[in-house]
Amino acid sequence: MDGKNIVSQKFMNDKAIFADLFNFLYHNGERVVKSEELFPLSEISEYEITSNEIKLISVMSNKKEIFAVFEVNDQPQIYSASIHYLLMEMVNYYIAQIEKTAGFQKGDKLYPVVPAVIYWKPDKWNGAKSFDEMFDVSNEAYRRSIPQYDLKLVSPYDLKDEDFSKFHTELGIVLEFIKYSGDKSTLKELVQSEPKYKNLSTNAAEMLRVFGDM
């Protein structure tokens, strides 16, 4: 894991920030995932797949779901790489759960693995965003048999100004800073006019330095 990954992992391992990400992606900012109910699942890290395209940086559970945060620091060199990696990674988590029960018996249930992907760059995401778009299927009857899997992606480029109000932690500040990091005039005005930039935690400030070219 390189220096950038270490900085982002430390930032995302904050339970409040971790919950904030999933509440934005899946619940439009409503506080459904509670940070006080989360605990880390470091024991399943042995199932992680090594990838240069996308990296797993944090996994937590609330005893009902498994939440997994992945990050991408650069555009994928292969269009399908992120979807491919996430599918393999999630299958491995389900295998891990089955192995922990010493075989899957009738009545046993798996925790759903809920993924989130963050792209820490201001440019537009160019990789695949869904499993479906990778197929060339002319017959709609066959298309319905293809699993529908969307990449749950947070990309600063795609965030609108009103989206930042749906975040309740410094995650929103970091993503906003990255979004405008290529526009120094707008960024300067934003930082000078917003009090929230004057009292950042050490971890958030380090994120701005590393990912916002500060």
Question: Which ranges constitute the DSSP H helices of 101-198?
Answer: 140-143, 170-179, 184-193
Phi and psi, residue 131, nearest 5°: -70, -40
Phi and psi, residue 114, nearest 5°: -105, 110
Say how far apart CA 151 and CA 107 lie, in whole Å.
Answer: 30
Helix, strand or coil, per DSSP, at residue 67: strand
Say how far apart CA 165 and CA 23 lie, in whole Å.
Answer: 12
Say how far apart CA 129 and CA 153 lie, in whole Å.
Answer: 8
Give residue 21's pLDDT. Answer: 98
- Which residues lie closer than 8 Å to 128 by C-beta, 6 or more apart? 79, 80, 82, 83, 134, 151
Q: What are the pLDDT tens digits along the chain (214 aa)?
A: 567 889 999 999 999 999 999 999 999 999 999 999 999 986 544 445 445 567 888 999 999 998 989 888 776 654 555 666 677 677 777 777 766 666 667 777 778 889 899 999 999 988 777 777 777 777 878 777 776 777 889 999 999 999 999 999 999 999 999 999 988 888 888 888 888 888 899 999 999 999 987 5
Residue 141, both tokens: 């009857």
Give residue 1's pLDDT. Answer: 53
Give residue 54's pLDDT. Answer: 76
How many Cβ atoms from other residues are within 10 Å of residue 49's Cβ? 13
Task: Detail the DSSP E strand segments found in 41-178.
Answer: 55-61, 66-72, 113-119, 153-154
Q: How far is CA 13 from CA 67, 69, 84, 94, 162, in A?
A: 12, 10, 25, 22, 25
DSSP symbol at 103: S
> For 169-191, b where at least 16 C-beta lie within 10 A, e where not — what string?
bbbbbbbbbbbbbeeeeebeebe
Residue at 114: amino acid letter: V
Say how far apart CA 82 and CA 90 lie, in whole Å.
Answer: 12
pTM for the model = 0.84
Residue at 16: amino acid letter: A
Residue at 111: amino acid letter: Y
Give residue 44's pLDDT. Answer: 46
Phi and psi, residue 59, nearest 5°: -135, 130
The radius of gyration of the chain's CA atoms, rounded to the nearest angstrom, is 18
